[in-house]
Structure 1
């Protein structure tokens, strides 16, 4: 087996342990997680590429942050669904993360159903938590998030498991009509990590 696949198929407890070790060894990811605590973001999660790309970099021997464009931070606040309330949080976060060497994109998941159909032309369910968003990502592989708890523990959220990440396999998720997003993101990823295997979008969806 190729060295970068050494944790593929090893089971979720092992994969969760290794994922946490990779995140804790990455100073930029920890800076974002600690900043989220400082900001007091309700139901805050660091999600998507900053996490799974860090795994691919660590296991394939690439430099940290290779191919990582930004850090996506989600929170959930359904008490005020206005753009103004979200924008105030985004501006506070911009000050807190000013020294982080990646753009940090902060979004309120309680608002996604309000703007998603207009932007992408397809309906989006009204979410009840930040973690619920992971079920609607275009690729199951990308559906992973982490949070640093106030006692220092790290919580990992991965509704489809972690084996796709550790197997370097991009698997589609047909929960929404996201074929274009799955294919486009997979193609971009393979330019950086040619070890990836891309599972085609199912034709019967």
Structure 2
């Protein structure tokens, strides 16, 4: 059973595939850079569902924060560089300094601020390696929902009625319960 952030860090450190990804991302030297969302969540849910094999994930989300260069083309260049390092990884790189525009929100102040505004608390997570191979975990809403297999909207999505439909549509589209049958989905009440 996973109960602490330290146990999550140990679990990730013991996973060679995850560590190879984190090392590749660190080598890019992107500002305020994190590997986030399903990369972390899926690993934890797989372990809590006692799976021996990794569930497939559609992409590995890499985010960074660079307000000095908002050109989306740079994100594609970073993806290509990462594919050169690890070609079998489905990379998705986004500069959170511009993503507020796409998400119709106020500007984010950092990558962690963007993570805090992800739709689900169990997905609002990020990890990175520092230069000394220390694994850093950010979980702006804590880890309790994640380790208790609960899918709940982040405060941003419960406080903004326009965002409720996005959360509900995402839950339906992702269909996580078909992969991890023990999770409990919390819906936003109108």
**TM > 0.5 between the two?**
yes
1:186 to 152, 167, 171: 171
Aligned to 1:75: 64
Aligned to 1:92: 81
2:124 to 143, 164, 181: 143
Whole-Å separation in 1 of the counterparts to 2:143 and 2:167: 17
Query: TM-score by structure 2 length?
Result: 0.88
Unaligned ranges ≥5, structure 2:
none
Alpha-carbon contact 1:137-1:143 (below 8 Å) kept: yes
Aligned to 2:109: 128
1:65 aligns to what SS in structure 2?
coil
Whole-Å separation in 2 of the counterparts to 1:170 and 1:180: 15
Aligned to 2:89: 102
Alpha-carbon contact 1:54-1:64 (below 8 Å) kept: no
Distance 1:64 1:132, change over 3 A: farther
Which moved further from structure 2: 107-116 or 35-44? 107-116
Whole-Å separation in 2 of the counterparts to 1:83 and 1:184: 25
2:140 aligns to what SS in structure 1?
coil
Structural RMSD (CA): 1.8
Whole-Å separation in 2 of the counterparts to 1:48 and 1:64: 19
Aligned length: 184
1:56 to 42, 45, 48: 45
Aligned to 1:29: 18
Unaligned ranges ≥5, structure 1:
1-5, 117-122
